[in-house]
Structure 1
Amino acid sequence: MAILDMFKKLPSVPYPAPKTGYWLPVTSTLNWCEEARSQSTDYYATPYSAEIVNTLTNLLFIYLAILGVRSCLRNGHDTIFLVTFCGYFLVGSGSFAFHATLKYPMQLVDELSMIYTTCLMFWACFGHGHSRRFQVLLGIALFALAAFITLYYHYLQDPDFHQNAYAILTAIVLIRSMFVMEQALRPSSAKRKRDLADIESKMGKLSHEPTAELQRRDVRDRDILIRMWAMVGYGLFIFLLGFAIWNLDNEFCSTIRSWRHEIGLPWGILLEGHGWWHLMTGTGAYFYITWGVWLRHCLNGKQDEYEMHWPRLITSLPFVERIPRRVQAGNGASKKTI
């Protein structure tokens, strides 16, 4: 409450009265805790956006999706991640339209695009390294799963079903990706030792000092693993923190709304829990997809060709970039040795 009293002393303006919305009537099955006391009292800022904060915070999704698409095109990342970033763009633009209009079709675009994007990451995670036939069958199975979730959700119109389906898919992909990462990069793992033994046997015919090269690879991959775990931990923390804030927003909606009116604008915006959910999950999802891009290059044995840049933990975003060829040559990974 001391923080609330501090904000009360700051210059502010009262919340304006709700306006007649351009998109009325509301047809969505959800109405978030922004300013609505009923489904007819949104649109307090503009008649063209029912929930202005929840609408505008989706611009982060759109911005990060564009960054991801440009990075894929510029650096030659696998096509599946280009498609995934396009799906990520659809999530942000769908959520933008949903919160602006509170229309049921836009709600479906928002929520189901989350399922489809996660299915793309599922295919990228479980299909890599398998035969073409397995990848096709997996794609068909995931398409069928996405179609089932779409139809069943449309039939139930129960947000809990969508949230549970999304959480289960995301957890499966996340756990599987972490397992694959450890197997591929941890120097002490059995699979890693077998792979290095195969490399050493091939290198023995081409180089007089294979052991030094293998040691370099161990040091390189151990460093990559540490940075990957930092990336996973930070992204997961941001995601879960956003989820916790959103749940507090749902649980104490009337209290938080009254606090917002007490401190007025613009400070009341800081108490928009669902807006924070957008910002944090958007950031966490970007971290997750970027991690997937980097992990795929490592699984393809391209650690000396690509590098993850993350200049500052809090104030910057990670991105995976192709290393210039002249720098690759200086890493001790010449084509002759490999």
Structure 2
Amino acid sequence: MGLSFPYPPAREDGFWAPVTSTINWCEEDYYATIYSAEIVNSLTNLLFVFLGIKGIRSCLKYKHDSVFLVAFIGYLLVGSGSFAFHSTLIYPMQLVDELSMIYTACLMCYATFSFSRSKTTRRILGTGLLSMAIFITLYYHYLQDPTFHQNAFALIAAVVLFRSMYVMEVNIRPSLRAKYATVARKTVDPAMSKSERLAIERRDRAILNEMWLMVVIGLSIFLGGFGMWALDNQYCSLVRVWRRKIGLPWGILLEGHGWWHLMTGIGAYFYLVWGIWLRHCLNERQDEYELGWPGYFSVPEVIPRSHTSNGRHTGKANGHSRYEERKSV
């Protein structure tokens, strides 16, 4: 395949040796440098670091709800922990990697279920989720079975995802809002004209369509990463043979766990931005913020409308026509 050179042999005497983690991956150990056990699996986590810093900066600059600032800090810790784990393959770093995923998922669970609830309900929910996170930590450390961690994370993530979809539909879609809304509307004006009500409904349907597009793209990328991870595990011995036949640097493209990091990093980032945008819509601030998303090959960001040129949308339409301003309601 054009210019390539052979893979160096794997080693067992790396800087962080011996391997003490309960799981190892398909990338061969210490073949590139003695200072990183899995160089590709380590470096692909830098996308988490980049997007995590981007998300933290956005939350601070644009004053998004603090729960999302904490969530992006957790997202950054997931990438940093994974970088440390794959660089060292030692058990403490494995715990940092895997348990930060659980804690961040629990945090998003709290953000999803606590909104508009009473202080007592939020305290009960927070205590319950904290107790669950502690239980998972202790039981996982006792079992040291990666399957338990994977199933626990998948279950929490699925609950958060489906709950967010439900909240989005019943609170934004005009045909469902009156009957099933979980959040009371604050800005309903009895004197509002029919044309103004129709304008709001058009705005909300446009927002909903764009949110579903974000969900489909983000979830597809995330599940695609899961597929790469599964194939990497299932056919590891064969993939290693292929990589050595192809040689470096092209063999790097067959590092399935590295693709898992890249794709799940993007998918999780999409979910967090979707959560920010959904929260602003639930707070009825659709006319103060917009979704900046220039194209499908860029990452979205929720920004105040005051930061866009003349109050117009700079990316995809979200909320109402990009060419005309809706009347103030």
Cα displacement (A) at 1:136: 1.4
Match of 1:320 among 302, 305, 322: 302
Q: Is residue 225–residue 260 contact of structure 2 (8 Å, CA) maintained in 1?
A: yes
1:211 aligns with 2:194: yes
Q: Is residue 69–residue 85 contact of structure 1 (8 Å, CA) maintained in 2?
A: yes
Cα distance in 2, alignment partners of residues 54 and 159 from structure 1: 17
Match of 1:173 among 160, 166, 173: 160
Which residues in structure 2 correspond to 1:53-64 (within 5 Å)? 53-64=40-51
Give SS of 2:175's match.
coil
Q: Is residue 171–residue 180 contact of structure 2 (8 Å, CA) maintained in 1?
A: no
Off by >6 Å, runs of 4+ in structure 1: 192-198
TM-aligned CA distance change 1:260 to 1:193, over 3 Å: closer
Aligned residues: CA RMSD:
1.9
Cα displacement (A) at 1:97: 0.2
> What does residue 71 of structure 2 align with?
84
Cα distance in 2, alignment partners of residues 197 and 68 from structure 1: 28
Q: TM-score, normalised by structure 2?
A: 0.91
> What does residue 309 of structure 1 align with?
292
Cα distance in 2, alignment partners of residues 196 and 131 from structure 1: 13
1:269 aligns with 2:256: no
Cα displacement (A) at 1:332: 3.6
Structure with higher Rg: it is: 1
Give SS of 2:174's match.
coil
Cα displacement (A) at 1:327: 2.7
Cα distance in 2, alignment partners of residues 119 and 73 from structure 1: 22
1:24 aligns with 2:11: no
Q: Is residue 304–residue 333 contact of structure 1 (8 Å, CA) maintained in 2?
A: no
Unmatched segments (≥5 aa) in structure 1: 1-6, 36-41
Cα displacement (A) at 1:210: 2.4
> What does residue 211 of structure 2 align with?
228
Superposed CA deviations along residues 20-41 of structure 1, whole A, max 9, x for unmatched, are: 3000111100110001xxxxxx
Give SS of 1:188's match.
helix
TM-aligned CA distance change 1:299 to 1:196, over 3 Å: closer
> What does residue 151 of structure 1 align with?
138
> What does residue 44 of structure 1 align with?
31
> What does residue 122 of structure 2 align with?
135
Unmatched segments (≥5 aa) in structure 2: 313-323
Cα distance in 2, alignment partners of residues 76 and 198 from structure 1: 21
Cα distance in 2, alignment partners of residues 120 and 306 from structure 1: 24
TM-aligned CA distance change 1:97 to 1:147, over 3 Å: same
Match of 2:84 among 78, 97, 101: 97
> What does residue 263 of structure 2 align with?
280
Which residues in structure 2 correspond to 1:164-203 (within 5 Å)? 164-191=151-178, 199-200=187-188, 202-203=189-190
Cα distance in 1, alignment partners of residues 270 and 177 from structure 2: 28
One-letter amino acid matched to 1:49: S
Superposed CA deviations along residues 141-160 of structure 1, whole A, max 9, x for unmatched, are: 11000000000000000001
Q: TM-score, normalised by structure 1?
A: 0.89
One-letter amino acid matched to 2:6: P
1:163 aligns with 2:147: no
One-letter amino acid matched to 1:129: S
Cα distance in 1, alignment partners of residues 287 and 108 from structure 2: 24
Which residues in structure 2 correspond to 1:103-118 (within 5 Å)? 103-118=90-105
Match of 1:15 among 7, 16, 23: 7
Q: Is residue 306–residue 320 contact of structure 1 (8 Å, CA) maintained in 2?
A: yes
Cα displacement (A) at 1:18: 3.2
Cα distance in 2, alignment partners of residues 96 and 15 from structure 1: 22
Q: Is residue 187–residue 193 contact of structure 1 (8 Å, CA) maintained in 2?
A: no
Cα distance in 2, alignment partners of residues 197 and 24 from structure 1: 58
Cα distance in 2, alignment partners of residues 43 and 190 from structure 1: 56
Cα displacement (A) at 1:62: 0.6
1:256 aligns with 2:248: no
Cα displacement (A) at 1:132: 1.3
Q: Is residue 9–residue 31 contact of structure 2 (8 Å, CA) maintained in 1?
A: yes
Cα distance in 1, alignment partners of residues 178 and 81 from structure 2: 42
Cα distance in 1, alignment partners of residues 283 and 179 from structure 2: 13
